[in-house]
Amino acid sequence: DGGITQSPKYLFRKEGQNVTLSCEQNLNHDAMYWYRQDPGQGLRLIYYSQIVNDFQKGDIAEGYSVSREKKESFPLTVTSAQKNPTAFYLCASSIRLDRVDYGYTFGSGTRLTVV
């Protein structure tokens, strides 16, 4: 079955550590996205990518970094510069960034907690 796989489901980070969240899709989608969800805040866009080796900052990119070395993969690194990283992180994909008639497919999320 095609879909998006996020791992791990739960992640604990110590102060000052960088952590990387994995996102893999086998839908042959060109565009991929990372959103952050906080309670009562809805989803906020961190980064997005429309093609391999290219990505754009979203609304809250500070303290995060991404890479897009393969079409199928779009990992997100939460760096120590992100001062409030505890949140639910959602990865999504769509056919193409300019095909706006299609919805997004989401992964099941990674819950990151700072300990």
Give contact residues for another protein (rule: CB under 8 A): 4, 6, 33, 35, 40-45, 48, 50, 58, 88, 90, 92, 97-98, 100-109, 111
Q: How far apart are CA 91 and CA 81, in angstroms?
A: 21
| Shortest Cβ 56–another protein spacing (Å) | 9
- Of the pair 58, 80, the CB lying nearest another protein is at 58
Nearer to another protein, 6 or 82 (CB): 6
Smallest gap from residue 96 Cβ to another protein (A) = 9
Residue 21 CB: number of other CB atoms within 10 A? 23
CB of 80 to another protein, least distance (A): 26
For the chain, the maximum distance between any two Cα atoms, rounded to a whole number of angstroms, is: 41
Q: Minimal distance in Å, beta carbon 9 to another protein?
A: 9
Q: What is the DSSP letter of 69?
A: S
Beta bridge partners of 24: 5, 73
* Unique residue bearing structure tokens 């009562």: 40
Pick 38 or 62: Cβ nearer another protein: 38
Closest CA to 93 of 29, 1, 22, 24: 29
